């Protein structure tokens, strides 16, 4: 199973990019023993439309177009489920056990996601009620994916 992180916007060079790449690589390495083929980051260009609803629709269409057939879709959403690390690991394991070709974690733009894309989600994941910059959300997601793979592989990284 592939893990994909689809995000609106590009990370600029800097500490967030370095940290994201570090956790992406760690997740890919740990995940190989679990049957995870790859961890991909796909960045979608931010819409330049003047109207917020049009930006949301354009970005959602671009995100929907990269979701593979049969993939599990997980949205990062402030109103979503606030899962602990073990529950996220169990969800990944469930997707893998159900022979899903991929799981796609979607990080929308500042204007949110269109209802048509939100309706495709099997899970809505929240990192709490606070508003987080998209760069930090990506880092936190990749760290949690790494933590989930260490939980599934019995690695001592997760000790809660």
pLDDT of 155: 82
Three-state secondary-structure class, residue 143:
helix
What CATH number is given to the structural domain containing 97? Answer: 3.40.1280.10
pLDDT of 157: 79
Count of domains observed in the chain: 1
How far is residue 49 from each of residues 9, 56, 57, 66, measured CA to CA in Å? 14, 9, 10, 21
- Would you give per-residue pLDDT tens digits along the chain (160 residues)? 999 999 999 998 899 999 999 999 999 999 999 999 899 999 999 999 999 999 999 999 999 999 999 999 999 998 899 999 999 999 999 999 999 999 999 999 999 999 999 999 999 999 998 888 889 999 999 999 999 999 999 988 766 5
Give the residue from 146, 25, 23, 26 showing the smallest Cα distance to 92.
146
Half-sphere exposure of 49 (CA within 13 A, CB side): 13
In a domain, 158, yes or no: no
Spatial neighbors of 154 by CB under 8 A, at least 6 apart, are none
Integer-rounded Cα radius of gyration of the chain: 15
pTM of the complete model beyond 0.85: yes
Q: Which domain holds residue 54?
A: 2-153
Strands (E), 1-160: 2-8, 38-44, 72-81, 102-107, 123-125
Question: Are 76 and 125 within 8 A, CB to CB?
Answer: yes
pLDDT of 159: 66
In a domain, 159, yes or no: no
């Amino acid at each position: 199973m592939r893990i994909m992180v689809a995000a609106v916007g590009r990370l600029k060079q800097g500490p967030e990019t370095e940290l994201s790449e570090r956790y992406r690589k760690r997740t890919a390495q740990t995940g190989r023993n679990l049957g995870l083929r790859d961890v991909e980051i796909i960045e979608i260009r931010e819409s330049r439309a003047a109207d917020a609803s049009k930006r949301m629709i354009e970005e959602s269409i671009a995100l929907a177009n990269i979701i593979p057939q049969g993939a599990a879709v997980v949205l990062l959403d402030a109103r979503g489920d606030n899962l602990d690390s073990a529950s996220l690991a169990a969800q990944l394991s469930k997707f893998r056990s159900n022979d899903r070709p991929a799981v796609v974690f979607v990080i929308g733009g500042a204007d949110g996601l269109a209802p048509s894309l939100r309706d495709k989600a099997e899970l809505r994941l929240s990192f709490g009620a606070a508003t987080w910059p998209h760069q930090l959300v990506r880092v936190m997601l990749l760290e949690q994916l790494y933590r989930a793979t260490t939980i599934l592989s019995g690695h001592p990284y997760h000790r809660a």
